[in-house]
Amino acid sequence: MKDPALKVLQGQLPESIRPLAVSLLTSENEGLKQFEHTIKKISSEVSSINREAYKKDILMFDNQIDTIHAQLASTDHKITAWARLNLDDITIDNETIKPIDAATEVAQNRQLTESFPDKLGIEETFKPRFTHADITALKDARVSLGSDLSYLNKKFLPLQTCLLPTLSSNFIRI
């Protein structure tokens, strides 16, 4: 090859298309032969194309792209949901708490939860066995107890030591 610039250019091209780069700057027989060879190579490549196979491949790639777009949309939706859970204010019993304040309180009071004997994980055995309806019923029960919740953890006299009135207004010991 007499043209050093063409040699450098061909060195930069992928192996499969190097033969397609030929010099036509001169009217040399070698350049024209290379050009003719390149035209024949392109012509044979084009004539050997199986259009049906390419159509099937294109359809398959289109379906894969659609599937990936759907997966990306789903992932984007999940990320948005997690962002909302981590960024939106939390409302508990009509009290609004900022997520950063909740996280700070949890971090500062970690010792309160470290004493829990339960270990949590993501396996099926750790899946909650109660529903939103159960939580709602529990909350309603708590609201109906109202101020009676203050008796929680209070010590009372055993039932046997209590005096109960009888029909005759005399007290009996149980």
φ, ψ for residue 97, nearest 5 deg: -125, 135
Could you list the pLDDT tens digit for every one of the 174 residues in the chain?
Answer: 567 777 888 888 888 777 777 766 656 777 777 778 888 888 888 888 888 999 999 999 999 999 999 999 999 999 999 998 888 998 877 889 998 898 898 889 888 877 777 777 778 888 888 888 999 998 888 888 888 777 777 777 666 655 555 555 454 444
Q: Angle at CA 98, nearest 5°, toward 114 and 86?
A: 75
**All residues at 6 or more sequence positions from 28 whose CB lies less than 8 Å from its CB, including other chains:** 2
pTM greater than 0.75 (yes/no): no
Per the CB < 8 A criterion, the answer to whether 98 and 92 are in contact is no
Q: What are the extents of the domains in the chain?
A: 4-49, 55-111
Per the CB < 8 A criterion, the answer to whether 3 and 25 are in contact is yes
Of 21, 17, 23, 19, residue with least CA distance to 2: 23
d(CA 24, CA 28): 8
